[in-house]
Amino acid sequence: MAEILQKVVEEERQGEAYAPFLADPNEYSKKFYIESYGCQMNFSDSEIVASILHEQGFGPTRNFEDANLVFLNTCSIREKAEQTVRNRLQAFRKVKESRPGMLIGVLGCMAERLKAKFLEEEKLVDIVVGPDAYRSLPGLIIEAEGGQKSVNVLLSREETYADIAPVRLDSNGVTAFVSIMRGCNNMCTFCVVPFTRGRERSRDAASIINECKELFDRGFREVTLLGQNVDSYYFTNPEQEEITFAKLLEKVASISPLLRVRFSTSHPKDITDDVLHTMAAHHNICKYIHLPVQSGNTRILQLMNRTYTREWYLNKVNRIREIMPDCGLSTDVITGFCTETEEEHQDTLSIMEKSRFDMAYMFSYSERPGTLAAKRYEDDIPEDIKQRRLQEIIHLQNTHSRESYKNDIGKIVEVLIEGNSKRSDKDWCGRNTQNKMVVFPKAQAGLKKGDYAQVKITSATSATLIGEMIYH
C-alpha cells in the first residue's frame, strides 16, 4: 500500500474469497464458497468452517456461481461493512433465482444482530450461524436443504474449536493464523465484540502448540497467535501448570528457531513485562506489537471504558521501547467519539506525536447498535467535523510512517520470503521482524518462499521498504 490512508478501509474492504487447496474441486459433487470480511479472527474462523464443510463432503470453489453453498463471514465493526455485505447477499440472491438449490448463509458477528432482517424482512439468506455455533452447520444445512430457515446464534462459554484442524485457505504456505482464545471480557463502550463473540475462554495450550508444530512440519515458517486480547490468555494444563501468554509465547517459539511468532491483539492494560522480556529473549518472536490507543484523552478513554489513562498508555509505550528499542508499534485510533472536544482531539494528535507509530488503523466514530455507547451516549459530533479530524489524524500518521520507513534506509534486515512482489515476479516480498513489507530483486537462484534473506534497505515509501539481498 502506498499510503496509510488505505489502512482506513482495512476492516471495510471488499471481502476476500477463499478456496482451500484440499483436492481437485471436480472430485466433489457439492461445492462451497466463503467470502470473509473484517478482522483476522474472522479469516481464521473461515478456515474452521471450511474444515467442517470438508468433513461433510463439500469441495471448494472460487466462483460463487458454481457453489451449492455460499457463505459470507461478516463483521459488525463498521456500518459500511454491513452495507457491503447486504449488497453481496443481493448479488448472490440474483444468482440463486436461476439455481434454486443454492443455499446462502451468513456467519460471524453480524449473524445474531441482523438475523431477523436477513431471514425475514429481506429474505436474503437461508442459514444464519454465530461464531460459537459452527459445529452445528451440518444439521443446519440439512434443515435448509429441506426448505426450512436455519439459525443458531447461541454463544458459548466453552467453545474454542481446539480439536478442529483448520483448512488453510488460499494459503501462501508460509504464514498462518492460529487462534488461541475466543471472546472478550473488555466492555469497551464502542465495541460489539463481547455481544457477538461472548466471554473470554482460552484454548488448550497443548492443542495450540501441536497445531503450530504441525504447521512448521508442513513448511510454514510464521504463525500469528490470535485473540481479541491475547495478553489475557490463561490456561491450566492437566499437570496443573499455569500457562500465561508469556509462557505460551515461549513454548511456541521453542518449536524451532526457524519458526517466526507474531500475535494480535494486545490491550494496553494487560501486556506485561513478562511478555516483553520473552519477546526480547527470543530472536524468532517478532519485535512488533499492535497496541490500540483509540484516543489520547483520558476523559474520552474513560467514556470508552478503556480502563487506562493517557499517562498509562505513554508509560507502556516507553516500557516497550526500554526493553525492545527496535520494536515496531502500530495502533487503532477512533476520532469523533461522543462529546469529544477540539482540545481532546488535539490530545489524540499529541499522543501520536509522542508514540510515533509505524502504522495505524484510523476511523471516525460510527455508532453500532447494541453497544454500551449507543445506549448511554448521544452520537453528537457532526459528520463534517469527524471527517476533518480523521483527515488530520491520517495526515499526521502518514508523516510518521514515511519517517519510520525512511529511517530504515541503510539497515540490514532479515526478511521471511512470502512470495512474489505484487508488482513484479522478478522481485520477492516478505516482512521483517517489525512487520514492515520489504521488496527486493531475486538476485540469487535457489531461493524460495519460506526462506530467510538478509536485505539491505536502499529506499522506502510510507508503507514499503525496498532493498537488495546481501547474502542468504
What is the CATH classification number for the domain harbouring 90?
Answer: 3.40.50.12160
Q: Could you list the residue range(s) of the whole structural domain that residue 432 is in? A: 412-471
The answer to whether position 392 is within a domain reads no
Q: How far, CA to CA in Å, does 318 sit from each of 32, 291, 334, 415? A: 48, 13, 22, 26
Listed residue (313, 77, 78, 304) closest to 188, CA to CA? 304
CA–CA distance, 272 with 181 (Å, rounded to integer): 18
Report the number of secondary-structure helices (H) and strands (E) in the chain: 13, 22
> For residue 357, what pLDDT is reported?
98
The answer to whether position 52 is within a domain reads yes
**Domain ends where: 136, 152, 168?**
152
Residue 424's φ and ψ, nearest 5 degrees, are -160, 135
Residues 6+ away with beta carbon under 8 Å from 142 = none
CA–CA distance, 164 with 82 (Å, rounded to integer): 29
Longest CA–CA separation in the chain, Å: 64
Residue 25's φ and ψ, nearest 5 degrees, are -55, -25
Greater pLDDT, 83 or 107: 107
The answer to whether position 292 is within a domain reads no
Q: State the average pLDDT for the chain.
A: 90
Tell me which DSSP letter residue 120 carries. I
State the cell numbers at 289: 506489537
Residue 288's φ and ψ, nearest 5 degrees, are -155, 130
Q: What is the mean pLDDT of residues 307-331?
A: 98
CA–CA distance, 94 with 166 (Å, rounded to integer): 31
The answer to whether position 12 is within a domain reads yes
CA–CA distance, 127 with 326 (Å, rounded to integer): 48
Residue type, position 412, single letter: I
**Domain ends where: 152, 170, 193?**
152
Q: What is the mean pLDDT of residues 443-447?
A: 78
CA–CA distance, 9 with 378 (Å, rounded to integer): 25
21: pLDDT strictly greater than 80: no
Tell me which DSSP letter residue 326 carries. T
Residues 455 and 440 sit within 8 Å (Cβ to Cβ):
yes
Residues 192 and 155 sit within 8 Å (Cβ to Cβ):
no
First and final C-alpha spacing in the chain = 27
The answer to whether position 346 is within a domain reads no
Q: How confident is the model at residue 354 (pLDDT cuts 50, 70, 90)?
A: very high
In this structure, what is the dihedral angle of CA atoms 375, 43, 361, 230, given to the nearest 10 degrees? 80
Across-strand partners of 202?
181
Tell me which DSSP letter residue 423 carries. S
CA–CA distance, 259 with 220 (Å, rounded to integer): 8
> For residue 77, what pLDDT is reported?
66
Q: What is the mean pLDDT of residues 145-159?
A: 89
CA–CA distance, 314 with 377 (Å, rounded to integer): 27
Region of poorest pLDDT, from 103-117, 280-294, 303-317:
103-117
Region of poorest pLDDT, from 73-77, 436-440, 456-460:
73-77
The answer to whether position 158 is within a domain reads no
Residue type, position 161, single letter: Y
Q: What is the mean pLDDT of residues 380-386?
A: 98
Across-strand partners of 127?
105, 150
- Give the count of domains, the chain: 2
Residues 309 and 283 sit within 8 Å (Cβ to Cβ):
no
> For residue 233, what pLDDT is reported?
97
State the cell numbers at 130: 454465530
Cα–Cα–Cα angle for 292, 318, 347, rounded to 5 degrees: 55
Q: How confident is the model at residue 282 (pLDDT cuts 50, 70, 90)?
A: very high
Residues 6+ away with beta carbon under 8 Å from 80 = 12
> For residue 5, what pLDDT is reported?
30
The answer to whether position 394 is within a domain reads no
**Domain ends where: 152, 183, 207?**
152
7: pLDDT strictly greater than 60: no
Q: What is the pTM of this model?
A: 0.88
Listed residue (10, 67, 80) closest to 34, CA to CA? 67
> For residue 10, what pLDDT is reported?
37
State the cell numbers at 11: 476492516
Q: Where residue 451 sits, what CATH number does that domain have?
A: 2.40.50.140
Strands (E), 84-218: 103-108, 127-129, 150-152, 175-179, 181-182, 201-202
CA–CA distance, 182 with 226 (Å, rounded to integer): 9
343 exposed, middle or buried (CB, 10 Å; 0-12, 13-18, 19+)? exposed
Q: How confident is the model at residue 14 (pLDDT cuts 50, 70, 90)?
A: very low
CA–CA distance, 164 with 210 (Å, rounded to integer): 12
Residues 108 and 152 sit within 8 Å (Cβ to Cβ):
no
Residue-wise pLDDT tens digits, 112-149: 777 777 777 668 899 999 999 999 999 999 999 998 88
State how far Cα 274 lies from the chain centre.
24
- Quote the percentage of the chain above a pLDDT of 90: 70
> For residue 13, what pLDDT is reported?
38
The answer to whether position 451 is within a domain reads yes
